[in-house]
Amino acid sequence: MIKVLVVEDDEVTAMNLKMSLEKQGYEVVSIADNAVTARNKIKIYNPDIALIDIGLQKTMDGIELAQFIREKNPLPFIYLTAHSDNEMLSKAKKTEPYGYIVKPFDPVNLHTTIQMALYRFKEEKKRNSNINELMSDREELEKLVYAKKLSDKPIVEFGNGYRHDTGLGETFYENQKIKLTKKENAFIRLLVAQLGSVVDFEQAINYVWDTKGATDNSVRTLVWRLRNKLPTDVIKNASGVGYYLEE
């Protein structure tokens, strides 16, 4: 049986609604006379649909209640109204109600509107879950692309048997990866980027070191360590200038 929550502060209207609904086979789980109560009742009874008097006076009006429902507890809702000024209308339409009934209500109209609202809600839910599926699909793809570090950046060859993958930022000698530290890697990247020309000290310091900077000797030490890790002698020195890679 379809569970209906009635939110209406006029007792007479509320009872009329209740009777009319019950006669048509609906179950009125509760009647709330204000928005706060309504929120609680929704949590407790988990109704299938709510009929909301748009002109509730206390604490929060019907429109705010509808916004709460949209955000926190999706549920189809139908507005009940006695009259309607333009301001209220423009607010009400922003909540995209599932139906709208002008008092005094007609029982048949009530039934029809509820049925339509239930149907639309069901369909929208379906559509939303489809959309969510698509979204998570898309995210997975994005991650896959990211994981593979998809890049059309080139692989540069140098020395004799060296390969540097610009995308990965890694260096290989005869297809063997060379394990380097962060700064060593950075320096190699710089040398590769400048393949064919000399990297001077200042350039190296600016590129490899951030903020603090370093001395020329730091660069020399770095080169020394790097040379120890590279099987062959590919890092050449241009005396008085800097370093370069053998092509």
Contacts of 97 (CB under 8 A, 6+ apart): 66, 77, 78, 79
| Stretch 210-239 residues interacting with a copy of itself (CB under 8 A) | 210, 238-239
| Stretch 24-43 residues interacting with DNA (CB under 7 A) | 43
Shortest gap between Cβ of 22 and a copy of itself (angstroms)? 18
Beta bridge partners of 102: 81
Beta bridge partners of 3: 27
The interface region with DNA, picked from 98-106, 139-147, 149-157, 238-246 by CB under 7 A, is: 238-246
| Stretch 206-235 residues interacting with DNA (CB under 7 A) | 209, 214-218, 220-225, 227
In the list 183, 190, 195, 207, the residue contacting DNA (rule: CB under 7 A) is 183
Q: Which of 146, 145, 165 is nearest to 157 (CA)?
A: 165
The interface region with DNA, picked from 51-59, 153-161, 167-175, 178-186 by CB under 7 A, is: 178-186
Shortest gap between Cβ of 47 and a copy of itself (angstroms)? 19
Q: How far lies 8's CA from each of 34, 36, 50, in Å?
A: 7, 12, 10
Q: Which amino acid is at 241?
A: V
In the list 19, 150, 155, 220, the residue contacting a copy of itself (rule: CB under 8 A) is 150
101 or 235: whose CB is closer to DNA?
235
Q: How far lies 138's CA from each of 17, 111, 128, 144, 227, in Å?
A: 46, 41, 15, 10, 45
Interaction partner, residue 59 (a copy of itself, DNA, none; CB < 5-8 Å by kind): none
Burial 216-243 (b: 16+ CB within 10 A, else e): eebbeebbeebeeebeeebbeeeeeebb
Residue with tokens 């509808």: 66
Q: CA 71 from chain center: how many Å?
A: 16
Query: Does residue 109 interact with a copy of itself by CB under 8 A?
Result: yes
Total site size for DNA, rule CB under 7 A: 25
CA pair distance 208, 226, nearest whole angstrom = 13
Question: Applying CB under 8 A, which residues contact a copy of itself?
Answer: 81, 83-84, 89-90, 92-94, 96-97, 99-100, 102, 106, 108-109, 111-113, 115-116, 119-120, 123, 131, 134-135, 137-139, 141-151, 165, 168, 170, 177, 179-183, 185, 189-190, 193-194, 196-198, 203, 206-207, 210, 238-241
Question: Applying CB under 7 A, which residues contact DNA?
Answer: 43, 181-184, 201, 209, 214-218, 220-225, 227, 237-242
